[in-house]
Structure formats: C-alpha cells, structure tokens
Amino acid sequence: MKIIIPMVLIILVAIFLFSQSQDRSHQKIEGETEKLLNQLPQGSMTVISTEWEEVHGKTVHFPDLARLSEIDVLSVFKKHEITHLLLTSADIYPYLSIYGDSVSFVKTDENLGVFRYASQNPEINTNMLTEENNQLSSIYLVVGEPLTQLTSIICEFLSEDQIQRLPPEEIFFNKQSFVNEGLTCPYVIFIDSTSDNPFNWTLVCVPQSLRDSIGIRFYLLDEPSESFVSFNSFYIGDKYVKLWEVK
C-alpha cells in the first residue's frame, strides 16, 4: 500500500504534465497566429483557409483558397475589404500528387538508364486515355552526367488496356523551368532535387488547370503580382506560413 500511493501520485503528475504540454503547444500556435495578426495595421482583415481557426474580427474563412486563381479571388477580396492573404504549406498539400513512394532505376539492354517515380496516391481519372479508371501511373526521368542535368521527362498514363507516354507541359527543376511544345499532357512537374542521388528525389505533379492558382503561383513559385505583394513568411509550429498584402 505504501508503494502504490506514491506510484499513483507519480502517474497522475506525469499525465497532468503531458496533457499540459499538448495544450500549451496548441495554445502556442493559436497565440502566435493572433500575435502575427495583431502586428498587421489596424482594421486589417486576413483571408485564411478553413483549416485555421477564425480570429473574430481579424480573419475570414475562404474554402478551397489555395486552388483559386488571382482573377477568381481579387474582386471577392475587394468586396469583403480583405487586406491580407494567408497560406500555409498545409493548404497547398492536398492539391499535389507526390511521386516518389517507389523509385526504380531502369536499365535497358540498349544501355539507357531511366529513373521511374511512382505514387501510392497517383493522379486518377485523367483525360489522357479514353478508358475510365486510368491513372498517371508514373513519371520517368532521364538524368545526364552530372546528375544535376535533366535530359528527358515522360508521364505514363495507364489503364487496363491502354497505355500512353507523353511529356508534361511544364517542368521546374534545379532553379530552372522548361516548357514543352507539341504533343504534351496537361501537367506541371516540380522536381525536388536537393539530393545528389536521384533515388532520393521527389516529383510533384499538378494539373495544368491549377498552374495559375494562388497556391502554386504565389506560395510555391513566389511569382510576382501587382495585386498580391509578399508581406511576411515564418514558421508557426510545423507549418510554413506566407502572408501577402492585397493591393
């Protein structure tokens, strides 16, 4: 009995501390968001995605914020007197298809070496094949020497009876962008090639229809705009937050 009482007390204290630390980290994120919004000029109104908790009088929720284009949102923002736009990495993630869950180096008998990137959640039901239940099954890269040279890129569309291999319309790789002309598929590929080894690269695929979304244009590519001027960027918890001023 003498042992049980201190043990129970220790357990209770540990649980109390554990729950407090969880609450504190949540409060810290909310507190930092509020602190950030307080730094904005008086009367500012920031548009945020529905992932975030609304701060009364300072924020407005906007569903599917990251996938909308500048033209879609600008007049609505002006009408609601929105002064700032806030996007986080979590807002962008759902619109991307990430290829790199399975990476193969394919060596052919004609001595061609190709890296193939596949995804557990590929782009599905594309318009590239007439058969339904098709998918953008994989993306192939031919990488030259040194490994920072990209020679060729091909997207493979697959269904039960059909197969099609076509280059994507636009590619972002190693601080460069490439535009393919002629017969292409309407996708944009972003290549995370920060490692020297292509086995560690990750390919991000976005439909061309989302190329001009504010998530891609402003958050991912930092493209300049006359109406949205970069205001600040910072971490809140594990989220990378970017803020723009609406002009």
Partner 1 sequence: MNKPKFRFIYLVLIFSLCSVAFWIGTQVVPIFFTKILQTKTSAPENPNHSTLLAIARRGFVFEYDMKKGNLRQEKLETSQRNFETNLKMVLAYHHVERQMFNVTLQRSIAIPGGTPEQIDAYHQLIIEGELATSISQRQTIEKKKKELLNGAKVAPFIQTNSTMVNTVNNIR
Query: 81 to 120, contacts with partner 1 by CB under 8 A?
Result: 89-90, 92-93, 96, 98, 100-110, 112, 114, 116, 118, 120
> How far is Cα 166 from Cα 179, in angstroms, rounded to an integer?
13
CB nearer to partner 1: pick between 167 and 207: 167
- Using the rule CB under 8 A, is 176 a contact of partner 1? yes
* DSSP secondary structure code for residue 219 in this structure: I
Q: What is the CA angle 241-92-192, rounded to 5?
A: 95
Interface of this chain with partner 1, residues 182 to 211, rule: CB under 8 A: 183, 190, 192-194, 199-200, 202, 204
Q: Distances in Å between the alpha carbon of 79 and those of 45, 62, 67, 75, 166?
A: 12, 14, 20, 6, 43
Q: Which of 38, 39, 152, 195 binds partner 1 (CB under 8 A)?
A: 152
- Which one of 30-38, 43-51, 70-78, 214-222 is the stretch in contact with partner 1 (CB under 8 A)? 214-222
Q: Which of 224, 229, 234, 247 binds partner 1 (CB under 8 A)?
A: 224
61 beta partners:
48
- Using the rule CB under 8 A, is 137 a contact of partner 1? yes
Nearest distance, CB of residue 239 and partner 1, angstroms:
8
- Which one of 29-37, 56-64, 67-75, 174-182 is the stretch in contact with partner 1 (CB under 8 A)? 174-182
Q: Give the CA count within 13 Å in the CB-facing half-sphere of 239.
A: 22
Q: Distances in Å between the alpha carbon of 97 and those of 121, 162, 204, 206?
A: 7, 21, 6, 7
Measured in whole angstroms, the distance separating CA 65 from the mean position of its chain's CA atoms is: 13
Nearest distance, CB of residue 198 and partner 1, angstroms:
10
Q: How many residues bind partner 1 (CB under 8 A)?
A: 73
Nearest distance, CB of residue 25 and partner 1, angstroms:
14
Q: What is the 3-state secondary structure (H, E, C) of 147-169?
A: CCCEEEEEEEEECCCCEEEECEE
